[in-house]
């Protein structure tokens, strides 16, 4: 079946306000467990077998959870096996939407103008976060998974038969250690800048900013004797750390006041970041323009003018 993709009307913050996840009763939602937690497996035992051409991934370029998945697809050579729609980085009160623009576009698979339509199509009573990434299954006509905790790992492990690059991002023998490390990365690093930026008072901010930089200091130390977080091979933790590093100096440092140090000031983290950024899978999925546009324009309570800063120049981070 071919669909005619529809474009959402332009983002309009005066009319629709900023996106705040709310339920129908108008209550603002905190982070909750994701609603759709299907797993993709190589043998299909989960009910969702890995098959080329079956799944469609909804992402947004500024979203670090989304970028985990796009890096994995790129690294594994799965970009023909799993199709992708990239939402507009500007998200007004109506949530993620599809519009033509630099680095993003329409939903060619379902023709949805808003991502909320995919959630409604999956569950007409759906009343929670409309988040990216979300993986759509063409066969059952629903979202299988919007669980940022498992999605990139499933893409990294279940599709090996169709991958054109042989790379094991989640080696069997290190899984327990990697899972534990992912927990640390999420709570202390990935979430850290948001906790600083959205802190409700000085004491909370100060606690969060020191926790975040303690964790970055630990990671700087960890990289003293190794190229990657788990030694000399690239694994999923590197992808999960990279997506934070890529947003750090450009956005988190100013917008979220995560500003004790820049990544460019950490001798090892700087080199580590540049090493990853040189790889096409990392560089080509990193769009600093969309990243800045999203954060600086969609949190009016943090940046009321919506002015997107011109800098920082990221030369020392991305070049030698």
* Closer Cβ to ligand GSH, 147 or 220, answer by number: 147
Q: Does 86 participate in binding ligand GSH (rule CB under 6 A)?
A: no
Instruction: Report how far residue 73's alpha carbon sits from residue 94's, in angstroms, rounded to the nearest whole number.
Output: 28
Q: Report how many residues bind ligand GSH under the rule CB under 6 A.
A: 13
Which of 146, 224, 229 lies closest to 182, judged by CA? 229
Contact with ligand GSH (CB under 6 A) among 129, 240, 247, 262 = 129
Q: Does 285 participate in binding ligand GSH (rule CB under 6 A)?
A: no
Q: How big, in percent rounded to 5, are the helix, strand and coil portions of the chain?
A: 45, 10, 45
* Active site annotation includes 272: no
* Active site annotation includes 48: no
Instruction: Report how far residue 274's alpha carbon sits from residue 282's, in angstroms, rounded to the nearest whole number.
Output: 10
Q: Does 63 participate in binding ligand GSH (rule CB under 6 A)?
A: yes
Does 96 belong to an annotated binding site? Answer: yes
Contact with ligand GSH (CB under 6 A) among 67, 85, 122, 131 = 131
**Residues 137-156 close enough to bind ligand GSH by CB under 6 A:** 146, 148
* Closer Cβ to ligand GSH, 2 or 301, answer by number: 301
Contact with ligand GSH (CB under 6 A) among 132, 223, 258, 269 = 132
Q: How many CB atoms lie within 10 A of CB 47?
A: 12
Minimum CB distance to ligand GSH, residue 53 (Å): 25
Q: Does 277 participate in binding ligand GSH (rule CB under 6 A)?
A: no
Q: How far is CA 190 from CA 12, 68, 212, 245, in A?
A: 29, 12, 9, 9
Contact letters (x/-) for ligand GSH, 9-38, by CB under 6 A?
Answer: ------------x---------xx-x----
Minimum CB distance to ligand GSH, residue 60 (Å): 6
Q: How many CB atoms lie within 10 A of CB 271?
A: 13
| Chain-centre distance for alpha carbon 57 | 12
Angle at 190 between CA 187 and CA 193, to 5 degrees: 100
Q: Does 65 participate in binding ligand GSH (rule CB under 6 A)?
A: yes
Which of 149, 181, 142 lies closest to 31, judged by CA? 149
Q: Is the peptide bond before 270 cis (omega within 30 degrees of 0)?
A: no
Minimum CB distance to ligand GSH, residue 298 (Å): 10
Give yes or no for a contact between 67 and 243, defined as CB atoms under 8 angstroms apart.
Answer: yes
Instruction: Report how far residue 100's alpha carbon sits from residue 106's, in angstroms, rounded to the nearest whole number.
Output: 6
Which residue among 63, 196, 272, 277 is the active-site one? Answer: 63
Binding site for ligand GSH (CB under 6 A): 21, 31-32, 34, 63-65, 129-132, 146, 148
Q: Please give the annotated binding residues, written as ranges.
A: 96
> Which residues participate in catalysis according to the annotation?
63, 194
Q: Please give the annotated binding residues for glutathione, written as ranges.
A: 96
């Amino acid at each position: 079946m071919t669909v005619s993709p529809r474009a959402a009307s332009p983002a309009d913050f005066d009319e629709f306000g900023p996106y705040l996840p709310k339920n129908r009763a108008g209550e603002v939602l905190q982070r909750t467990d994701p609603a759709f937690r299907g797993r993709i497996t190589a043998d299909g035992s989960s009910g969702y077998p890995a098959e080329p051409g079956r799944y469609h991934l909804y992402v947004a370029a500024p979203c670090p959870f989304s970028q985990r998945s796009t890096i994995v697809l790129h690294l594994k050579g799965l970009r023909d096996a799993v199709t992708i729609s990239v939402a507009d980085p500007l998200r007004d009160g109506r949530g993620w939407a599809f519009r033509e623009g630099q680095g993003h576009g329409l939903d060619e698979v379902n023709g949805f103008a808003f991502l909320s339509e995919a959630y409604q199509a999956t569950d007409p009573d759906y009343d929670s976060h409309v988040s990216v990434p979300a993986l759509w299954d063409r066969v059952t006509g629903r979202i299988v998974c919007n669980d940022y905790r498992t999605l990139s790992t499933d893409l990294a492990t279940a599709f090996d038969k169709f991958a054109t690059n042989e790379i094991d991002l989640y080696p069997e023998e290190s899984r327990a250690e990697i899972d534990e490390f992912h927990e640390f990365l999420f709570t202390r690093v990935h979430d850290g800048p948001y906790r600083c930026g959205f802190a409700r008072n000085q004491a909370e901010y100060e606690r969060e900013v020191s926790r975040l930089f303690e964790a970055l200091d630990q990671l700087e130390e960890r990289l003293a004797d190794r190229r990657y977080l788990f030694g000399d091979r690239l694994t999923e933790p590197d992808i999960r750390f990279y997506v934070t590093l890529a947003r750090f100096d450009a956005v988190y440092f100013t917008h979220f006041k995560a500003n004790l140090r820049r990544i460019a000031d950490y001798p090892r983290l700087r080199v580590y970041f540049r090493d990853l950024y040189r790889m096409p899978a990392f560089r080509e999925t990193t769009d600093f323009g969309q990243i800045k546009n999203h954060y600086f324009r969609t949190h009016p309570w943090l940046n009321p003018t919506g002015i997107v800063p011109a800098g920082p120049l990221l030369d020392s981070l991305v070049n030698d």
